[in-house]
Amino acid sequence: MQNEDGDTMKVGVLAFQGAVREHIDMLSKLGVTAVPVKKREDLKDISGLILPGGESTTIGKLLRDSGLREEVIKMAKEGIPIWGTCAGMILLAKHIVNQDYIHLGLMDIWVRRNAYGSQIDSFIRKVTVPSISSFPLELIFIRAPYVEKVGEGVEVILELDGKIVAVRQDRLLATAFHPELTDDLSFHKYFLELTKN
Instruction: List interacting residues with ligand GLN (CB under 6 A).
Output: 53-56, 86-87, 90, 113-114, 142-143
Beta bridge partners of 107: 93
Closest approach of ligand GLN to the CB of residue 46, in Å: 22
Nearest 5°: the CA angle 48, 49, 50 is: 135
Closer residue to ligand GLN in complex, CB, 55/71: 55
How far from 193 is each of 46, 117, 172, 187, CA to CA, in Å? Answer: 14, 34, 12, 10
The residues annotated with a catalytic role in the active site are: 86, 178, 180
Closest approach of ligand GLN to the CB of residue 119, in Å: 15
From CA 118, how far away is CA 100, in angstroms rounded?
21
From CA 179, how far away is CA 187, in angstroms rounded?
7
Closest approach of ligand GLN to the CB of residue 2, in Å: 31
Q: What is the DSSP letter of 40?
A: G
Closer residue to ligand GLN in complex, CB, 113/168: 113
Q: Are 51 and 14 in contact (CB under 8 A)?
A: yes
Helices (H) and strands (E) in the chain, counts: 5, 12
- The CB-nearest residue to ligand GLN is 53
Closer residue to ligand GLN in complex, CB, 1/21: 21
Closest approach of ligand GLN to the CB of residue 91, in Å: 8
Closer residue to ligand GLN in complex, CB, 1/94: 94
